[in-house]
């Protein structure tokens, strides 16, 4: 008899329907583990609404953090963000605390689940960058009525997630990685993401690599979803298309996910706490059960993961235990649907059974050895690589009600001997010296000052003196240095510049 393998796991039941789906999943894992001599040491931990209500504004108490630091693995129910408690999401806090930069959402056609795409063979994974982009949550009102959010994309963050996507493709025996971006419009942020995808692709041959604009991904996903294998995207785009992808195969009741960091992994359903169903024992627990199979693979328990996944597939295929959301989709009598706990019982009964109409999970390729790849060059070494930047100007974002012509004339006169006013723009469109054909004054302009000598390197004192002069005319919202590296201009041109 093989020795008993034990796995410590932090279990966060969470809010709303969380405790019900967490209990169902835990029972299945314990039962499946017992058949093959594997046991879980569950460390139950709190997060979310109950924690906010106790006055902890982070939503994630110290004991929970300590447990995850110990176990390095968490299975998590949904967490609510109650309105009026500081608006911090405990989910985002967890992501940031443990730097779980990769959000993985596999989407596969399931047996017995009616969808428009039945039989097309949908089997894809959406890999979403999970800590950068607009989710940094850095927002400012530039005037009382002009809001701004900072979209932060780093080369390092992009490289990490794109490598993750390729390595996942290798590990799972997948054939293609699609980098999805909005590089056509956002040349620096999304453009960097696209370029890194292109730079890394040759390292991962023979995986086929392509790039699609994110809106086209949405279109193609609805038209012909089976063409996708692995899709990697920045945070917000990944968020949206992964929800779209889950909708193709049966919806939130089936959408599983994993959040991986360098040392910690957190597994959770995509859905939220569905408060109107809380405590009613009617919600579909499949999403969290399938998330738990990802956790089992992460723990190296591949046979066990296959057993649990196949038991779910066989249960759905048999059609005898259908949760309420499936019955509703089929137009059946929801009163006759299987309860959350009843579904868990049916899966436990099916342990050891393989599905017949869809491939067994056991037929999929296992983790292969992954070639170590060059990692991101950090710190001083990177600075030496890219060299120093020259400062060639300043973008001064200001609140003003002056007309473009009047503002342009006044601001040009303030430029001083080393600088000149290149243009004024409003929401990225030049309004001075050329007038925009149609102009709806937003009360907020950007003045772009540039060095008269293109080879100049402006000292801070020059810019500070300029800021002082201009501030008398119009207060600044924010300021951006215009910089140039040997190989890169660090600012985009305005429309019409």
> Nearer Cβ to ligand NAD, position 81 or 179?
81
x-marked contacts with ligand NAD along 44-83 as a string, rule CB under 6 A: ----------------------------------xxxx--
**DSSP three-state, residue 398:** strand
**Residue of 284, 315, 350, 400 that binds ligand NAD (CB under 6 A):** 284
User: What angle in degrees, to the nearest 10, is found between the helix axes of 214-223 and 235-248?
Assistant: 0
Q: Residue 102 CB, nearest distance to ligand NAD (Å)?
A: 15
* 11 contacts ligand NAD (rule: CB under 6 A): no
Q: Could you confirm whether 135 is annotated as catalytic?
A: yes
Q: Residue 378 CB, nearest distance to ligand NAD (Å)?
A: 31
d(CA 392, CA 419): 9
Q: Residue 79 CB, nearest distance to ligand NAD (Å)?
A: 4
Secondary element (H or E) of residue 308: helix 302-318
What is the residue-wise DSSP string for 20-72? HHHHHHHHHHHHHHHHTTEEEEEEE---SHHHHHTT-TTSS-HHHHHHHHHHS
Q: Residue 59 CB, nearest distance to ligand NAD (Å)?
A: 10
In which region does residue 279 sit, left (phi positive, over 0), alpha (psi from -120 to 50) or beta (all else)?
left
Question: Which span (174-182, 199-207, 282-290, 457-465) binds ligand NAD, by CB under 6 A?
Answer: 282-290
Question: Which span (144-152, 220-228, 270-278, 293-301) binds ligand NAD, by CB under 6 A?
Answer: 270-278
Buried b (16+ CB within 10 A) or exposed e, 224-250: ebeebbbbbbbbbbbbbbbebbbbbbb
**Tokens encoding 370:** 């992954």
> Nearer Cβ to ligand NAD, position 25 or 178?
25
Residue length, the chain? 497
* 271 contacts ligand NAD (rule: CB under 6 A): yes
* 20 contacts ligand NAD (rule: CB under 6 A): no
Secondary element (H or E) of residue 420: strand 419-426
Supply φ then ψ for residue 26, to 5 degrees: -60, -45
- Residue list 237-266, contact with ligand NAD (CB under 6 A): 252-253
x-marked contacts with ligand NAD along 198-237 as a string, rule CB under 6 A: ----------------------------------------
d(CA 45, CA 91): 14
Q: Residue 107 CB, nearest distance to ligand NAD (Å)?
A: 15
Q: Could you confirm whether 239 is annotated as catalytic?
A: yes
- Among 145, 215, 453, 460, the active-site one is 215
Give the total of residues touching ligand NAD (CB under 6 A).
Answer: 17
* 325 contacts ligand NAD (rule: CB under 6 A): yes
Secondary element (H or E) of residue 434: none
Q: Could you confirm whether 15 is annotated as catalytic?
A: no
Q: Residue 299 CB, nearest distance to ligand NAD (Å)?
A: 21
**DSSP three-state, residue 432:** strand
Q: Residue 269 CB, nearest distance to ligand NAD (Å)?
A: 6
- Among 239, 306, 307, 325, the active-site one is 239
Q: On the CB side of 281, how many CA atoms lie within 13 Å of its CA?
A: 9
Buried b (16+ CB within 10 A) or exposed e, 48-66: bbbbbeeebebbbbeebbe
Q: Which residues are catalytic?
A: 135, 182, 215, 239
Instruction: Summarize as ranges the residues that interact with ligand NAD (CB under 6 A).
Output: 78-81, 91, 252-253, 268, 271-274, 276, 283-284, 287, 325
């Amino acid at each position: 008899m093989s020795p008993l393998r034990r796995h410590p796991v932090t279990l966060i039941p969470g809010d709303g329907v969380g405790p019900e789906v967490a209990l169902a999943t835990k029972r299945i894992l314990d039962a499946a583990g017992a058949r093959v001599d594997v046991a879980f040491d569950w460390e139950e931990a709190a997060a979310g609404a109950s924690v906010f209500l106790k006055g902890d504004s982070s939503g994630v108490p110290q004991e929970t953090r300590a447990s995850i630091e110990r176990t390095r693995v968490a299975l998590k129910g949904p967490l609510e963000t109650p309105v009026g408690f500081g608006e911090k999401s405990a989910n985002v806090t967890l992501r940031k605390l443990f730097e779980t930069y990769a959000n993985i959402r596999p989407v596969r056609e399931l047996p017995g689940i009616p969808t428009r795409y039945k039989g097309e063979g949908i089997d894809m994974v959406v890999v979403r960058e999970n800590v950068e982009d607009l989710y940094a949550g850095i927002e400012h009102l530039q005037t009382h009525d002009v809001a701004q959010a900072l979209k932060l994309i780093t080369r390092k963050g992009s490289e990490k997630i794109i490598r993750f996507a390729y390595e996942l493709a290798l590990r799972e025996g997948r054939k293609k990685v699609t980098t999805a971006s909005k590089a056509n419009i956002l040349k620096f942020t999304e453009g960097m993401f696209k370029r890194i995808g292109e730079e890394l692709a040759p390292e991962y041959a023979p995986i086929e690599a392509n790039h699609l604009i994110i809106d086209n991904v949405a279109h193609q996903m609805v038209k012909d979803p089976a063409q996708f294998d692995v899709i990697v995207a920045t945070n917000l785009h990944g968020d949206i298309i992964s929800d779209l992808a889950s909708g193709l195969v049966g919806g939130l009741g089936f959408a599983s996910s994993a959040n991986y960091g360098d040392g910690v992994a957190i597994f959770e359903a995509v859905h939220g706490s569905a408060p109107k169903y809380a405590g009613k024992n009617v919600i579909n627990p499949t999403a969290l059960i399938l998330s738990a199979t990802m956790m089992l693979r992460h723990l190296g328990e591949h046979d066990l993961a296959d057993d649990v996944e196949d038991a779910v597939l066989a249960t759905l295929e048999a059609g005898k235990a259908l949760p309420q959301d499936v019955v509703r989709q089929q137009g059946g009598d929801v009163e006759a649907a299987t309860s959350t706990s009843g579904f868990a019982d049916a899966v436990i009964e099916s342990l050891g059974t393989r599905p017949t109409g869809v491939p067994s999970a056991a037929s999929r390729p296992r983790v292969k050895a992954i070639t170590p790849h060059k990692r991101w060059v950090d710190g001083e070494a990177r600075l030496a690589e890219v060299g120093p930047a020259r400062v060639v100007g300043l973008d001064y974002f200001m609140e003003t009600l002056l007309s473009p012509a009047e503002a342009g004339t006044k601001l040009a006169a303030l430029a001083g001997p080393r600088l000149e006013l290149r243009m004024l723009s409003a929401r990225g469109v030049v309004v001075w010296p050329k007038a925009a054909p149609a102009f709806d004054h937003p009360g907020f302009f950007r003045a772009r000052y540039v060095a008269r000598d293109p080879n100049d390197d402006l000292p801070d004192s020059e810019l500070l003196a300029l800021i002082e002069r201009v501030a008398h005319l119009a207060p600044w919202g924010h300021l951006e240095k215009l910089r140039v590296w040997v190989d890169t201009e660090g600012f985009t041109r305005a429309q019409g510049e």
